[in-house]
Structure 1
Amino acid sequence: MTTNFPPFIDAHHHLWDLQAVRYPWLMARGVRRFFGDPTPIQKNYLTEDFLSECPGIRPTHSVHIQVGAENGLAETRWLSQLPQRPAALVAHCDLDAVNAMDDVVAQSQLGGVRGIRQIIGRHSAEDAANGSGKLLDSPRWCSNLGALAEMRLSFDLQMVPDQMPALLVVLSRLPELNVALCHAGSPWEQTGSGWERWKAGIKELARLPNIYCKVSGLGMFNPNWTIDSLRPIVRHVINSFGTERVMFGSNFPVDKLYRSYGELWETYRLLIENESGETRHQIFYSNAARFYQIKD
């Protein structure tokens, strides 16, 4: 492992305090999730836990992404009061709720909030149970997406490849909204027709200049990943979005289920080691800083 790791922004990680905020999925013991068995991470994960993952490889800044709290405002309030707060916070709001924008305003007034995430796709089985995919058909949800742009807030988008055509229609109408595609668009199938659908969808979404792509959470789709299995995903993302709209995130502690923090970031480094120094800095640092309005 390199001892001279470049400055980087972890553009996607989570923290939680089970005594301060209620997280139903973290309190549901024995329930298997789409990413595997959550038992090892069903405990507090605080700033000091995150920063101690790999002393030799620490982010210069980080972006906290909402993580299924029962009350998004409570989660954001807790995060905003941390002594060592992440540089940017992406909060949760149900944009299809009648009072959605009141909730967004309340959260945006807390320190560090740069955007909103509402998951519309995780896995076909879970999505069928919770109905999240129906948001794409809601005029109110689409209208409130546009309102985020007016507030200079971005949107973190977690979805599945089958939703890409419908998302292309929705997002093409919102050119002022900056969107971060979480987890490289969830490449669940990495062979055959499913792989081809993901590649085609990524290429189409990348045509919209306001969409960025985060390489993160790939262990959820292939727990036994190797650098060789990640390479075609990362190369297709970079080739589609260009080096100025790609960023890296750890998805810790969820992806801690599969690999250590140091091994993950060293793999990212190796995957782009042949790029120019300027390109490496873009992907590791400046793209995330620009998107999430992070200042040194």
Structure 2
Amino acid sequence: MTDSGTPTPETAIEPEMPIIDAHHHLIDRPGRRYLFDAYLADVSAGHDIRATVYIESQAMCRAEGPEALKPVGETEFAAGIAAMSESGTYGSCRINAGIVGHADLARGDAVAQTLDAHVAAGGGRFRGVRQVALSHPSPEPFRYVLNPPPPDLLNAAAFRAGFAELGPRGLSFEATVFHTQLADVADLADAFPETVIVLDHLGFAMAMGMSDADRQGVFSEWAKGLRELARRPNVMAKIGGFGLPFWGFGFDQAEVKPDSDTLARTWRPCVETGIEAFGTGRCMMESNFPVDAMSCDYVTLWNALKKVTQGLDAAERHKLFFANAARIYDLDVSS
């Protein structure tokens, strides 16, 4: 502990392990500013982050022009940051090597115009679309959602008509859902078996504000749904997002943030369940920064994920932390 009573910042463990951060954001909103310099400081703080995948948050959209093309501004922004990173001036990490943008798939086949504009703007980096699909009867979790979606989005006929435009372009879909929607993701995967679906944050087990007993019940439901979803070979999984309040861990409310040992103990059942369900060949590790900074800093987060997986052999860990993201997002980066 420091003299002020705050924990001493952690040093990165296993600093030689190459990592692709498969999910992060750059944001500039009232009360939340996390742009290139801030993220660069995090990826340079001790872990060997070789490349990153930028995920949309509907930041930096175009202020003018057709509504359908406004989200393309975010891809233009992310591609610009990627070009800065590729210059080598800011270190060896290739920030935004892959880009996932926003498109309103509920526009049906008319979304093709948006997708093609994203691909052009990405400069060879655009890999897929995320349209947040979180749906829940309680309004409470949506206090933490920047752009709340319409309910039951994944089952809407118009959405599926738009979804059908992804596969022919070789684009994937990022599914951001609660555990109560895992069956909907499975149905979507069955309907479009040739399209890669990436399950973000292991499909949040929504246990916010619950008792320990109720949280255990949610965990059981989540694990069952996760294993059933994993039977679809076109679904991949990102392991992370545990810093958000949805899981009910409570670290986001703690005055003193937990160390990596505490996080590893708490997150282990979730991480191990995800790996058991999907196997080491279909999981990717993510920081979900800056959002997960609600519960810990960047170095501590990766320390915790490394500690949870130390029982696996080196080849399996390399898949989880690097190789799977490189393959799934088609990133040309060396390990």
Q: TM-score, normalised by structure 1?
A: 0.86
* Aligned counterpart for 1:101 among listed residues 112, 115, 126: 112
* Aligned counterpart for 1:60 among listed residues 27, 50, 57: 50
CA contact (8 A) 2:15 2:48 kept: no
User: Where does residue 172 of structure 2 map in the other structure?
Assistant: 154
1:164 and 2:164 correspond: no
CA contact (8 A) 1:245 1:287 kept: yes
Alignment partners' CA distance in 1, 2:135 and 2:326: 26
Instruction: Report the residue type matching 1:227 in the other structure.
Output: A
Alignment partners' CA distance in 1, 2:97 and 2:135: 26
1:10 and 2:21 correspond: yes
1:79, CA displacement in angstroms? Answer: 1.3
**CA displacement 1:194-248 (0-9 Å, x = unmatched):** 1111111100110001111101211103342721110000000000000100111
User: Where does residue 79 of structure 1 map in the other structure?
Assistant: 78
Unaligned runs of 5+ in 2: 1-10, 62-69, 86-94, 252-261
1:52, CA displacement in angstroms? Answer: 0.7
Alignment partners' CA distance in 2, 1:187 and 1:97: 29
* Aligned counterpart for 2:313 among listed residues 273, 276, 287: 276
Alignment partners' CA distance in 1, 2:300 and 2:319: 21
Query: Where do 4+ consecutive residues of structure 1 move more than 6 Å?
Result: none
User: Where does residue 231 of structure 1 map in the other structure?
Assistant: 268
Alignment partners' CA distance in 2, 1:56 and 1:192: 35
Task: Quickly say closer, same or farther: Cα 1:286–1:67, change in 2 above 3 A.
Answer: same
CA contact (8 A) 1:122 1:158 kept: no
Task: Quickly say closer, same or farther: Cα 1:131–1:217, change in 2 above 3 A.
Answer: closer
**CA displacement 1:131-173 (0-9 Å, x = unmatched):** 5333223212112222201100111110011112222222211
CA contact (8 A) 2:134 2:148 kept: no
Unaligned runs of 5+ in 1: 19-25, 28-38
User: Where does residue 46 of structure 1 map in the other structure?
Assistant: 35
Structure with bigger gyration radius: 2
Instruction: Report the residue type matching 2:155 in the other structure.
Output: D
User: Where does residue 258 of structure 2 map in the other structure?
Assistant: none
User: Where does residue 245 of structure 1 map in the other structure?
Assistant: 282
**CA displacement 1:81-126 (0-9 Å, x = unmatched):** 2212511000000100253121111001122110100000165423
Which structure is richer in relative contact order (CA contacts within 8 A, separation 6 or more)? 1
Alignment partners' CA distance in 1, 2:321 and 2:192: 27
Q: Percent identity?
A: 29
- How many residue pairs match? The answer is 273
User: Where does residue 174 of structure 1 map in the other structure?
Assistant: 192
Residue range with higher mean Cα deviation, 74-83 or 186-195: 186-195
Task: Quickly say closer, same or farther: Cα 1:105–1:257, change in 2 above 3 A.
Answer: same
User: Where does residue 202 of structure 1 map in the other structure?
Assistant: 226
Instruction: Report the residue type matching 1:203 in the other structure.
Output: R
Across the aligned residues of Structure 1 and Structure 2, the Cα RMSD in angstroms comes to 1.9
Instruction: Report the residue type matching 2:162 in the other structure.
Output: N
Instruction: Report the residue type matching 2:52 in the other structure.
Output: S
CA contact (8 A) 2:101 2:118 kept: yes
Alignment partners' CA distance in 1, 2:202 and 2:250: 15
Residue range with higher mean Cα deviation, 64-73 or 130-139: 130-139
User: Where does residue 144 of structure 1 map in the other structure?
Assistant: 162
